[in-house]
Every structure is written in structure tokens, then in C-alpha cells.
Structure 1
Amino acid sequence: MIDSFLRDHHLGTRDIAAGPTPPSLPAPPQLREKGRAGFADYLATSSPHRAFAVSPKGAYAYRSGRRSAREAAEAALAACTEYGPDCAVYAIDDELAEPAGAGSR
């Protein structure tokens, strides 16, 4: 009934009103099942400025709702290092982060 009303008034359907689909980024390969679920939660978060950090051994953390991408990355990295000393930022907002040193010459 609702979809019919929306269609009749050229408003689309509830699927369109539900919002955008999460971005499609590959999960870090070192994550286990719980970490992959955490990464899926990160992708589904629509808060502005979010970041995901991970260690080579699978420790991870993400933070969202920050004022800037840099602030989100710093917060995720700080949270991740509580679980693993060698964490790196993996994703920022909807993009993979640059590897350390990739942007400098």
C-alpha cells in the first residue's frame, strides 16, 4: 500500500528512501570473523568522518562521528593500539587509506 502511494505520486519506493548502500571496500585480509563483522559495521555507519585501523595480527578499532577525517583516523589508531602495538589506518570514510609513506617523496 505504501509503495503504491509513493509510486502513484512519483516518489519512488521505500527502498530508495532507505538511504544509500554502504560502500564496497575489501575487508583487511588479516581479520577473523569478529573483525570482518566489525568492518561491516564500520562500512554501514553513516556518521560523518570515520576511520578503521587494524594490526597485522588482526587487532582492530574504528571511530566515527568526528569533526574531520584526520581526527577520525587518529582516534581509530589510538583505540587500535590498545589491542595491538603495530596498528595502521586501513580506511578513512569511504576509501582505503594510503599506505604509510605513500604520499611523501
Structure 2
Amino acid sequence: MAGSNRVERVAFVTDPSSEQGRAWINATQSFAGVPEEVWTFEVGGDQVCAQWLKDRKGRVLTFQDIVQYQQIVAALAETIQLMEQIDDVIEAHGGWPLH
């Protein structure tokens, strides 16, 4: 990213032509290619991608921070895909058993 890498504001804008968007950290810098379902994925009631950035508001992201954020986005995308596969297998075998 060219620019200051300072997290000033956190916003997500979806590209209308796809299911991906940009996670903005200031007026000129963003992380592109963030799937909307990844941006909205919650753990413990928090949107992981948004909260990670909000926790760094006012800070300058290092190269390692940027790499870590990209890894988080990729890990969440894989997690969502695996959760869907697990749900499909459960459903194919009659759903959750009720005891």
C-alpha cells in the first residue's frame, strides 16, 4: 500500500459487480478483495476483520501487520468454506440427531 498506512477510519465498501469489497483504513488506502461474507463473519459477537482494524486505530500498520491482516482474511474465507462443507455433510446424513 502506498501512503501512510495509518488506520484512521475503518469502513467496508462492496463492489457491486462482485461479492468482494475493500476494507478501508483511511481516505486513500484499503485492503482489496475482501469477500463480504468474510468481512461480516463474527466470532464472539465481533466482526473479526473490522475489529482487528479498529483495535489498531491511530496506529501505523507495519509490513507484518499488513501480511497478518491478509492471512486473517484468507483464514476466515477457508473457515467459512469448511463450515459450509461440514453443514452439507451433516444435512446429507439426516441432520443433527435429537436425543
TM-score scaled to structure 2, two decimals?
0.28
State which structure, 1 or 2, has the greater radius of gyration over its C-alpha atoms. 1
TM-score scaled to structure 1, two decimals?
0.27
Higher RCO, 1 or 2 (CA under 8 Å, sep at least 6)? 2
More strand by share: 2
